[in-house]
């Protein structure tokens, strides 16, 4: 009988991708307002390219955007970018409309709810707290702290061990089907939260849902 | 004839000290709300001690507060502190009530207005932009970028050189009388902005004012 649901965080419980796009856009506009000689479209394209090249956790995206555009460091422009980014991110960070009601429903069903997320511990915890979701979760496993990343099955074995849960009693929910393989290898039930209907019907997971609210009825019949 | 006024930033144009106290207080309360086993008074005292010990630009004040209190890293608590700190700081950051009117008055008098500040370039620029003061200043000199710090007279010589200004045509305004010596050595006119009336009447500066609005009339008669 299912006792525990493990959720991914980003793009599963809230819309990180949209948030990052909004925040990057605001950052580029703020930098242009302070004198960065780029168009909004050109600036956003260049910033996305830098994020891709350096990875999302690199701390100097705006520094590079400025240096590669005007050939030198300019703290006024960099600071404008950071302010635009953070103001927009924090003002627009909220769970999906059905996240909280789904978590409440699972708690009512007696489920333990946990997080399995790849990323930096401080950054992920900051999101959980800003989303106001922290009280739902018994365990929050973040790859930086755990030492393994999804889809490595060791990440899921660690999660099951910490939650004292047999794989057959556990469900793992992620928006990225490629992260689900390790959970399947361990014998967990798997759900792909495919909000944008991008996955094929035969994607390698047990179920595909298009919104979180489909999950509690699905778990009831497992 | 006076052509240029150089202002310090922190505690001269806005109340940094009060802001830091508010933000630290909010951070400690947020961490206690998430489980940090301290009283608000004890937590604030401990945090102030850590800031003193490690310096205000050390990036891990909250990490240390958590580790020294519970004996281990806890990202939930650290993230709560950071959110409380930043939300409070950004919500309460504004210039003194007479900062903007004083800067406008000086501009109307034909003065060039510049900043000479000790600190980290990005952090100081972020404050200037969040305060909405950036358009007033022709030159912003921050110690990290310049390579010298107040009260080193080289900081003031650099400022005069960048502004193409003779020392006798320049006024330097700072809330800390100990930063003024280098400006005096260069031959600049000096004003101590002693908002809290802490300085003795014979403090080593040309003038003591108790609010920024006293500065334009003073400069008119120089």
B34 interaction partners in chain A (CB closer than 8 Å) = 129, 134
Name the nearest CA neighbour of B159 among B109, B206, B112. B112
* pLDDT score for B186: 95
Residues counted in chain A = 222
Beta strands B170-174 and B189-193: pairing type?
A: parallel
Residue A129 is nearest to which of B83, B129, B145, comparing CB atoms? B83
Place of tokens 């759900």: A191
Spell out which residues of chain A touch residue B82, defining contact as CB-CB under 8 Å.
Answer: 122, 126
CB spacing of A122 vs B80 below 8 angstroms:
no
* Interface contact flag, A75 B129, Cβ < 8 Å: no
Whole-angstrom distance, CA of residue A39 vs CA of residue A23 = 16
Do B80 and A129 make contact, defined as CB atoms within 8 angstroms? yes
Residues of A in contact with B86 (CB under 8 A): 86
| CATH number of the structural domain B4-14+95-220 | 3.40.50.1000
Q: Which of residues 173-202 of B touch A (CB under 8 A)?
A: none
Taking an 8 Å cut-off on Cβ atoms, the answer to whether A122 and B79 are in contact is yes
What part of A 132-171 touches B (C-beta under 8 Å)?
134, 140, 142, 145
Please report the ipTM that was assigned to this predicted complex.
0.85
Check CB contact of A80 with chain B, cutoff 8 Å. yes
Residue B123 host element (H or E) = helix B121-131
A91 CB within 8 Å of a chain B CB: no
Instruction: Characterize B4-22 residue by residue with b for buried, 16 or more Cβ atoms within 10 angstroms of its Cβ, and e for exposed.
Output: bbbbbbbbbbbbbeebbeb
Report in angstroms the alpha-carbon separations of A187 from A56, A93, A180.
31, 34, 11
* CATH for the B17-92 domain, from 3.40.50.1240, 1.10.150.520, 3.30.750.24, 3.30.1220.10: 1.10.150.520
Q: Where in chain A is the domain with CATH 3.40.50.1000?
A: 4-14+95-220
Q: Mind telling me how many Å the CA of A192 is from chain B's nearest CA?
A: 27
Nearest residue in chain B measured CA to CA from A134? B76
Say whether B129 and A78 touch across the interface (CB within 8 A): no
Delimit the CATH 1.10.150.520 region(s) of chain B.
Answer: 17-92
- Residues B112 and B3: their CA atoms lie apart, in Å, by 6
Query: What are the structure tokens assigned to A169, written together?
Result: 């009693």
Could you give the CA distance from residue A67 to residue B208 in angstroms, rounded to a whole number?
Answer: 42
Q: Considering only A19-28, B37-46, B116-125, B197-206, which range has the smallest mean pLDDT?
A: B197-206
DSSP secondary structure letters along B139-162: EEEEHHHHS--TT-HHHHHHHHHH
CA distance B53 to A186: 48
Q: What is the pLDDT along chain A (222 residues), one digit of tens a residue?
A: 999 999 999 999 999 999 999 999 999 999 999 999 999 999 999 999 999 999 988 999 999 999 999 999 999 999 999 999 999 999 999 999 999 999 999 999 999 999 999 999 999 999 999 999 999 999 999 999 999 999 999 999 999 999 999 999 999 999 999 999 999 999 999 999 998 888 888 889 999 999 999 999 999 998
Which of B122, B134, B140 is the closest to A78 by Cβ? B122
Residue B221 has a pLDDT of: 92
CA distance B155 to chain A (A): 19
Cβ-based contacts under 8 A for chains A and B? 55
| A67 has a chain B CB within 8 A of its CB | no
Q: What is residue B45's predicted lDDT score, i.e. its pLDDT?
A: 97
Closest residue by Cα to residue B84 from B33, B40, B30:
B30
The shortest CB-CB distance from B75 to any of A79, A90, A121 is to A121
């Amino acid at each position: 009988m299912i006792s525990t649901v493990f959720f991914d965080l980003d793009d599963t419980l809230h819309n990180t991708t949209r948030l990052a796009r909004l925040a990057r856009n605001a950052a580029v506009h703020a930098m242009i307002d302070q004198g960065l000689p780029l168009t909004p479209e050109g600036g956003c394209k260049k910033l996305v390219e830098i994020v891709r090249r350096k990875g999302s956790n690199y701390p100097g995206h705006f520094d590079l955007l400025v240096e590669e555009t005007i050939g030198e460091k300019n703290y006024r422009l960099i600071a404008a970018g950071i302010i635009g980014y953070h103001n927009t991110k924090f003002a627009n960070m909220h769970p999906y409309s059905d996240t909280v009601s789904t978590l409440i429903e699972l708690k009512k069903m007696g489920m333990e709810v946990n997080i399995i997320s790849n990323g930096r511990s401080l950054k992920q915890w900051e999101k959980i707290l800003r989303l106001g979701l922290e009280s739902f979760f018994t365990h929050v496993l973040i790859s930086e702290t755990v030492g393994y990343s999804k889809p490595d099955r060791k990440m899921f074995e660690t999660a099951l061990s910490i939650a004292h849960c047999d794989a057959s009693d556990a469900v793992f929910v992620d928006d990225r089907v490629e992260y689900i393989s390790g959970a399947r290898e361990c014998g967990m039930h798997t759900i792909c939260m495919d909000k944008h209907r991008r996955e094929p019907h035969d994607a390698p997971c047990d179920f595909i849902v298009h919104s979180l609210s489909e999950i509690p009825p699905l778990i009831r019949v497992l």
